Structure 1
């Protein structure tokens, strides 16, 4: 597959890579060169922009005046609405006393400062857009560390809890902090609680592992209906996480739902690679993952096309595989479903803030040293995107309010981390993410460029409204680079929660549209205005769509095909799911 060009290097460059790898361990994988470049770009452009400087002085004066007027109104009992409001996802200010002095004044002072810096790091003529976004992001990270909600003496919720418990919350919080420090230093994985044991309470849909190689296990799920749709379903999860996000508790398992609707379901369970597998490539995951799974399914359910479903990075890989199959005349796919999966990465959201040539080289050197990128290193990046909620709100609850993190199926899964092989992740970061080769017509499979427009199988594409990893407008662009029959769904929720939208889940809604093959493209904003939300779960729309693209029901196939080299090896969820 397309990757960075191989160029001969001097042996002394290994010394450079070792130094960079050591530095990466100290900085958590963040390139100081990329940080310095963004700040320098912003500062130099600001220094030669006296008009923007005057604008910022006026902005500071206006914000200060609004704060003073609000404080005076509160003192006289005539306060109206607060002049500054928290951002949509900022849950730090939910305690009612934040609306009362003196807490309201501390909160408003912080929000006023945040508002000023948002304006200061906005686009500036001549400034690289990425530099503006990156400096704004870094400023938000710094401001979040000094938010009044973080300090016991300034947070009304902490004060109230401390008085109620006579300080017991602080004692319990100190114990939580000590435990977390030890866990961070040792990098020991927390054991999965017994009430969420894998194979018993989570990932418990009955089935068999029918194929295994060094990259993946293929699970075939046992039928739950007397008749099934003849075309089987293959699920390709992301390798950045374990597959059972799609088979959590029985009530919110997408896999169990599909089986109950009369589908024969297969799912890939990726291995958790070690340093010995550092040289695994994207091509290995395509050929010995997706294509090997299709070969096994064709042997177990012969003569039938396959409904393929890819989630997150698994969807990106599935799109690559589907395009290469279409190019080569391989028509084994009955349909292609992409869930929260991107094929174009120009608008890949705040994750782009972390990637440029310097940052990718920095990560490559770290992976070169250890053989893989560990998911805790990725998790820090994802947490930083929503630091006010995923870092600081959690820290206040855990360390100052003394509230233990109650496990749930999704938090247990989220803590069950995986690694990414060095070569494969480098190829992904460079070829797919940084250079956007798939839609630029520069991504080659087996030496020949692929094109998404070659895919003729019908598509079902799902995006989620508040996705910070695969923003919905980026997912929507699948319609820009394909010409086939395509159904697009935009559902409520985030990257994981929006996909886990089982029927009966309260407060859910979705928008849906159908584009005929060859129809003209409609931009995302126009699409949003023209499609009203519908209450309920998109799962039912999807299963109906699968049924419409399937034949008449038949008797279920056997579990595996021993005579063709695909015996039932063990019970689901298999062995790779337990790899730590």
Structure 2
């Protein structure tokens, strides 16, 4: 719109001046729109070029087909009864009319009737004042919120849907609702619209240029930048805890960290991170490094740093990940320290492999693991959360076919799936900031790590999807490892089992349910926040809280009723649990330079990029 004179000075219902919603320099604005379209064309070319050359298959066909199939089931219920469909449509239309009537009243200077529709607690999308003070944007906001909640109600009230289809429908409705939010479009977002007019469209030129760069960086896929990656370098300001790579197999490097105390606990600590991400989430920076903190508490810390697999590792499954990862780490510790018994900590899927390994070692009467710590680890996948949306038979078969071509799954596939679990926080804010506002994201070490994705070896990932998410064989006693059938009831070693209350990847209910499968003592602890922030929570930050000491009964809710809340980090509680098992100290184990070293921490495997 182009305005002039006194009209420019009017305000929008007491909010931003209308001048902010006018084109300042029409000629420059038109020129920038042309430049933005040119950059958008480069983005389109970067996306289409590898597909035309046959280098990039269509990875969206199966998910889109599954979404359409799921919505078809939902639609079938509502459309099968005309009265039911009419009632649902009338309910939505009535809500629209109420919002419209209130908008008319506001524009006439009259007070609105009833309570306005407001975002749920924690929804940060509508913080700009004009979402409340400007009648047009307020109408858009309320209409969007009413529609998205109405769609969610359709899922919840659809009778006869099987639980898996309902779960998928919830997930897909949420994805579509969040994608269609008015905050994601220039003409319906007051902040974007003001910035576009104020800069005469310069933001769109910068944004489309960034979009083209990010699609080119992803070789035909959008590699959404969530951080200023140029500000970080492994070994310089990430993963800086001093240590050496002391052993290397085809699948893993074993890193030993230098001691920081005069004496250390007799039992060394072996950390088994997930291979879905890289280990340095536990060593982000000195202030938030669990590895550095554990070293300072007197642990002789060894870490498994998984290889970023390529076609050479396609046939490496869980047998190899146990033999060449966990068992290789145990052998290395025995050689380097002379100690046979070890405390082992597994994180996420690294903990799932550790649990399976414990069941195998119990059969083999191998007692080298004296205690096991499982961080946000699932062993029973009955309540595994939204990732189960991607793990039905058809989708697993499609993933298997895709992996067979190269021997691995592209890291971007898993990264996208994880981002979709929290699309409102991990996708759309960056789409808006980067490509519509044209701003570089801020440097943030955790998001740098999040974007440093890894590939998945075909045999490994197929085993994981089928035996855990699809068939839940580990919980049912039907999974095998190294040719032996596994029973978690045979695991007698003490287990420290940590869940986080807001976890979208390993839901607390799922982690809790798995606690009852072990045959030995289990210390279940619930931490505040989510899958990463709840784990990487050093005591010095004094953030969140954790719950301890509940009765390990039938439900998480029952456990919480008997648990005690404790302020701050769970780390000191874990340390006390470890020392209660064995607090024997020995002189600090310095890195033995008489033995071969393979390089400085964090090693070479972690540096391989997708």
The higher-RCO structure (CA 8 Å, 6+ apart) is: 1
Aligned match of 1:17: none
Aligned match of 1:114: 148
User: Quick one: which of 555, 560, 565 aligns to 1:533?
Assistant: 565
The one-character-per-residue Cα deviations of 1:267-321 (angstroms, maximum 9, x if unpaired) are 0000011112111111100111111111111222224421110001101001111
Aligned match of 2:409: 373
Aligned match of 2:600: 571
Moved more, 544-553 or 361-370: 544-553
Aligned match of 2:46: none
1:265-344 pair list within 5 angstroms: 265-344=301-380
The one-character-per-residue Cα deviations of 1:315-345 (angstroms, maximum 9, x if unpaired) are 1001111121123222112211111111011
TM-score by length of 1: 0.89
- Conservation of the 8 A alpha-carbon contact between 2:228 and 2:442: no
- Conservation of the 8 A alpha-carbon contact between 2:215 and 2:222: no
The one-character-per-residue Cα deviations of 1:328-368 (angstroms, maximum 9, x if unpaired) are 22211221111111101111111111111100000100001
CA 1:409/1:145 → structure 2, altered by over 3 Å: closer, same or farther? closer
Aligned match of 1:8: none
- Conservation of the 8 A alpha-carbon contact between 2:381 and 2:472: yes
Pairwise CA RMSD:
2.6
Report deviation, 1:432.
1.7
CA 1:462/1:67 → structure 2, altered by over 3 Å: closer, same or farther? same
Are 1:443 and 2:475 an aligned pair?
no
- Structure 2 SS opposite 1:534: strand
- Structure 2 SS opposite 1:153: helix
1:150-161 pair list within 5 angstroms: 150-161=184-195
Are 1:231 and 2:260 an aligned pair?
no
Report deviation, 1:51.
6.2
- Structure 2 SS opposite 1:228: strand
Aligned match of 1:92: 125
User: Quick one: which of 17, 21, 38 aligns to 2:70?
Assistant: 38
Aligned match of 1:4: none
CA 1:317/1:49 → structure 2, altered by over 3 Å: closer, same or farther? farther
The one-character-per-residue Cα deviations of 1:92-114 (angstroms, maximum 9, x if unpaired) are 21212211222111000011111
- Structure 1 SS opposite 2:118: coil
Aligned match of 1:510: 546
- Conservation of the 8 A alpha-carbon contact between 1:24 and 1:362: no
- Conservation of the 8 A alpha-carbon contact between 1:324 and 1:450: yes
1:305-454 pair list within 5 angstroms: 305-454=341-490
CA 1:312/1:82 → structure 2, altered by over 3 Å: closer, same or farther? farther
Report deviation, 1:30.
3.2
- CA distance, structure 1, for counterparts of residue 255 and residue 366 of structure 2: 23
Report deviation, 1:393.
1.8
- CA distance, structure 1, for counterparts of residue 57 and residue 304 of structure 2: 32
- Structure 2 SS opposite 1:121: helix
Aligned match of 1:547: 579
User: Quick one: which of 164, 177, 181 aligns to 2:215?
Assistant: 181
CA 1:514/1:44 → structure 2, altered by over 3 Å: closer, same or farther? closer
Moved more, 366-375 or 117-126: 117-126
- CA distance, structure 2, for counterparts of residue 458 and residue 523 of structure 1: 21
- Conservation of the 8 A alpha-carbon contact between 1:228 and 1:264: yes
- Conservation of the 8 A alpha-carbon contact between 2:419 and 2:426: yes
CA 1:160/1:513 → structure 2, altered by over 3 Å: closer, same or farther? farther
Name structure 2 gaps, 5 residues minimum: 1-53
Aligned match of 1:201: 237
CA 1:246/1:186 → structure 2, altered by over 3 Å: closer, same or farther? same
What is the total number of aligned residue pairs between the two structures? 552
The one-character-per-residue Cα deviations of 1:37-93 (angstroms, maximum 9, x if unpaired) are 323332333333456435424532442354245435534452477543334554221
Larger Rg: 2
User: Quick one: which of 492, 501, 510 aligns to 1:465?
Assistant: 501
Aligned match of 1:521: 553
- CA distance, structure 1, for counterparts of residue 318 and residue 559 of structure 2: 34
- Structure 2 SS opposite 1:252: coil
Report deviation, 1:489.
1.9
Moved more, 100-109 or 322-331: 322-331
Report deviation, 1:559.
2.5
Moved more, 388-397 or 24-33: 24-33
User: Quick one: which of 46, 67, 77 aligns to 2:99?
Assistant: 67
